[in-house]
Amino acid sequence: MTATPIQFGIFTVGDVTPDPTTGRTPTEHERIKAMLAIALKAEEVGLDVFATGEHHNPPFVPSSPTTMLGYLAARTERLILSTSTTLITTNDPVKIAEDFAMLQHLAEGRADVMMGRGNTGPVYPWFGQDIRQGIPLAIENYALLRRLWTEDVVDWQGRFRTPLQGFTSTPRPLDGVPPFVWHGSIRSPEIAEQAAYYGDGFFANNIFWPNEHFKRLIGLYRDRFEHYGHGTREQALVGLGGQVFMRRRSQDAVREFRPYFDNAPVYGHGPSLEEFTDQTPLTVGSPQEVVEKTLTFRESFGDYQRQLFLMDHAGLPLKTVLEQLDMLGEEVVPVLRKEMAARRPAGTADAPTHAARVAAERSAPAAGRTSEQTAGEQNEKGAAV
């Protein structure tokens, strides 16, 4: 797959939520199978990315993202398979290095990863960690992960895991190029700084908070990306999240989605649907309204490389989600691709793909140092952050 200006896709958090209109709760098996059906539908309708979260507590099911993505690698041909999020704080960096390099090979390079700390406090002690060390864990673990991917033999000692001596992570990254990394954050400037330091992507999952909050985080990331010499602010690699619900007529979309919104674990029992859609990227209306609101994101955040939509949250039945994906693929994304391409300034970075990154690596001067090599020299304590 060659580079494209912007990638469109969907992400799921894998919640098992009762349908408020019927009172029925799907089984874990039904929810897992539904997530697979949604991913396959995403490829069918021409989307670029499917991303799954990682959770280790009820009412969520995606505790093993690479197992699901490995299965999907065998069932798809074009879809980029990603996470949204991989817990860099509570997973061993050695296992992350191994799992995602293996996924790279299985998917012929159609794999990347989004790092994050997670927002479930109890997960830390379940995996032997202290939530009060969340930021230091994220920094140290990721620095080690980069070395495992970019150095064939690693000697390492840090604060949070046993030392490594002469260790080689296997398999090695496909074509010598590690999976592309997005750093996901909804609140932490330290993570925006980390993404900028390495020249990685920064993903702002802006589904909960007002735009002004994410404008500041993305602005910080862009400034620091340029500061570290990876390119201009406009060349920084930004991803955005969002949720949409569509019907042909706006009033039908609002009427149908309201009970799901009012009872959703992350939305309900707070601001009204109207307040939420006014202040956040949540869009409930016609396909044209989704197009119009999504096009305003670049006004707030600048031109960006990846747009992921949350489609299956809050107990929506599979049939409804698949209908949403048909509209997204047929009526929304084609218009967004055309309009965003027409408005995109020259020199803006394309969305990262494995093929494009391999080509860039091979075209680099032999005597030059690649960004991967430079990043691998960051010490395991992440001193720059």
Instruction: Please list, in sequence order, all residues whose beta carbon lies within 8 angstroms of the beta carbon of residue 299, skipping any fewer than 6 positions away.
Output: none
- Percent of the chain at pLDDT > 90 equals 77
Q: Is the pLDDT of residue 42 over 60?
A: yes
Cis before 59 (ω within 30): yes
Mean pLDDT calculated for residue range 266-286: 87
Instruction: Please list, in sequence order, all residues whose beta carbon lies within 8 angstroms of the beta carbon of residue 150, skipping any fewer than 6 positions away.
Output: 178, 372, 373, 375, 376
SS3 316: coil
pLDDT of residue 212: 77
pLDDT of residue 123: 86
List, as own/partner pairs, every contact residues 70-77 make where C-beta atoms lie below 8 angstroms and the sequence separation is at least 24, other chains included.
70/102, 70/103, 70/106, 70/107, 71/36, 72/36, 72/39, 72/40, 73/103, 73/106, 73/107, 73/108, 73/110, 73/111, 74/106, 75/36, 75/40, 76/39, 76/40, 76/43, 76/110, 77/43
pLDDT of residue 1: 45
Instruction: Please write the tens of the pLDDT for every residue from 300-352.
Output: 899 999 999 999 989 999 999 999 999 999 999 999 999 999 999 998 999 99
pLDDT of residue 208: 65
Instruction: Please write the tens of the pLDDT for every residue from 59-106.
Output: 999 999 999 999 999 999 999 999 999 999 999 999 999 999 999 999
Q: Is the pLDDT of residue 265 over 80?
A: no
Query: Which residues is 86 bridged to in the sheet?
Result: 115
Mean pLDDT calculated for residue range 181-210: 88
Mean pLDDT calculated for residue range 267-277: 85
CB-CB neighbours of 262 under 10 Å: 15
Query: Which tops the pLDDT comparison, 49 or 128?
Result: 49
Mean pLDDT calculated for residue range 107-114: 98
Mean pLDDT calculated for residue range 22-47: 98
pLDDT of residue 378: 40
Confidence band for 270, pLDDT divided at 50, 70 and 90: confident
Assign domain 7-376 one CATH number from 3.20.20.30, 1.10.260.40, 3.40.50.970, 3.90.700.10: 3.20.20.30
Alpha-carbon span 268 to 385, nearest angstrom: 36
- Please state the domain extents for the chain: 7-376
pLDDT of residue 44: 98
pLDDT of residue 3: 53
Mean pLDDT, the chain, integer? 91
pLDDT of residue 209: 65
Say what angle helices 333-343 and 287-295 make with each other, to 10 degrees.
Answer: 30
